[in-house]
Structure 1
């Protein structure tokens, strides 16, 4: 759990602030981090909500809860809400933090203009009037909140990164990485983020002794690894992934699919996939290995012909 919370308690984050300041982005980011998020939630109903059991298969109290509310929430009165939150904070089993999202009026006006939406407090007036009115209404909550984030100069992705940094449950959590092998002759995988073509390596298919084997067998592995271009190319791909994977993680990418292809998907791509799977495990990742065409029948007509020396 994030360092903002005390251990051994049900963790609740109250997310509030000015309309257009980023509450929806924050709640969606928290959901991606494993939180249970509810928007436009009347705080007076928080007590009954907290009495509900955790979802099936999850330890009681293990899922942190984020409740979003703002001036549009039914029965909104800042001082009254603060009193309700204070009563909840007296419970020994709860740890409650209030996060307020602020933003300057000019930027909020720009955001509403871009989305072509009306400010909720200015349906028939200029957006600036609604923003000023809401800032007055929300003033007590901003002054009382435990944490304030000014999103005036933050893009959506920068706000997401800020929330991940503050509220990620496990700072050592990593992305879900899948490494797969496939055969180009049987189609390119539609869900791959990165595709590497291994067809520049020597093809074991044309060795009669290796043809019935796969990249998981030692003779094929030794044959592919002995290619004069193997070591240098694999090292460069490894360096590229070492650069990209942390950047994907920093952007909040939950899933990364890396695919290695050869012609039939049984020899070269399989061995390279196994090689990178081991390397990623050693690097601290927990990759899922998938061999799409490992059991496919070897067919000469699908393989590229052997290049004869000139």
Structure 2
């Protein structure tokens, strides 16, 4: 971490900076996604010479871009000669910065490249191990100057995210965002649903003539739905279950969850249940949005 003498590292106009680098296959993309989920503005494959420019642009954002993560890798190797100059310029501006270097053993990297059947970016006409060796030589000095080195040889994706959360999430628990989506089974299941709830065990307001024209957003339909036996109990117990699941998702590094709530046509029961469920999740500290996929269909 570097801060210029005489400059305030706490100046809100100057974004905090993290430089992510390391061996290809060691988890740079996972690290970038993790920081993005934690609210960092992430730029992939940024030439080191442009890092000060990116920080300047962030400083002009009036606080909208307070933290920047720049991924620097071998694709930009011709720019590494400019890295020291760029870092010196950042120090002069009082930029708080950290460098994260992701490491892994040769054996682990070879297995990862072979599992995805892709060549190492530096192997050329040689073997994967030749590319790994060339990359180690190229990044040796950067690794020595890094503030944080993480060996991912024995880490899975969730364990790597947990390490980065511990470093960059601060005292707050990583945020989980939920989408609660109502849908109609006759139009098919939502393809992006993580969890599916079936409300067809409740009587259908469609068969009540005075309720048929309305949707689950109306007080009349919602009142009818939640007056049915088991409706309130279902809402209470499923909310409790989702809170338990949400805690596990946070521990495993999952930041987004889509809960699909279905009924026959996606107009009455699922809409009413989705609205109440989303309100419960929001009150429980989960950032939640509601989407009614099929409410407008005939």
- Does residue 151 (structure 1) correspond to residue 147 (structure 2)? The answer is no
Tell me the residue number matched to 2:3.
Answer: none
What TM-score, normalized by structure 1, do the two folds share?
0.74
- CA shift, 1:190, in A, is 4.4
Tell me the residue number matched to 2:78.
Answer: 74
CA separation of 1:10 and 1:61: change in aligned 2, threshold 3 A = farther
Q: Which moved more, 1:267-276 or 1:114-123?
A: 114-123
**Cα separation, 2, equivalents of 1:68 and 1:177:** 28
SS of 1:158 mapped into structure 2: helix
Contact between 1:88 and 1:94, CA under 8 Å: does it hold in 2? no
Q: Gaps spanning 5+ residues in structure 2: where?
A: 1-8
**Cα separation, 2, equivalents of 1:115 and 1:181:** 37
Tell me the residue number matched to 2:235.
Answer: 234
Q: Which moved more, 1:247-256 or 1:146-155?
A: 247-256
Given the alignment, which residue of 9, 27, 41 partners 1:22?
A: 27
Mark the structure with the bigger radius of gyration.
1
Tell me the residue number matched to 2:40.
Answer: 35
Tell me the residue number matched to 2:6.
Answer: none
- CA shift, 1:148, in A, is 1.0
Tell me the residue number matched to 1:275.
Answer: 276
- CA shift, 1:151, in A, is 0.8
Q: Which moved more, 1:128-137 or 1:153-162?
A: 128-137
- Does residue 181 (structure 1) correspond to residue 182 (structure 2)? The answer is yes
Contact between 1:43 and 1:84, CA under 8 Å: does it hold in 2? no
What TM-score, normalized by structure 2, do the two folds share?
0.77
Contact between 2:202 and 2:231, CA under 8 Å: does it hold in 1? yes
- CA shift, 1:97, in A, is 1.0
What per-residue deviation string (whole Å, max 9, x for no partner) do you get for residues 128-171 of structure 1?
34434543443333232111111111123432443344334894
- Does residue 139 (structure 1) correspond to residue 140 (structure 2)? The answer is yes
Name the count of aligned residue pairs.
288
- Does residue 258 (structure 1) correspond to residue 263 (structure 2)? The answer is no
Matches within 5 A, 1:31-70: 31-52=36-57, 58-59=61-62, 62-70=65-73
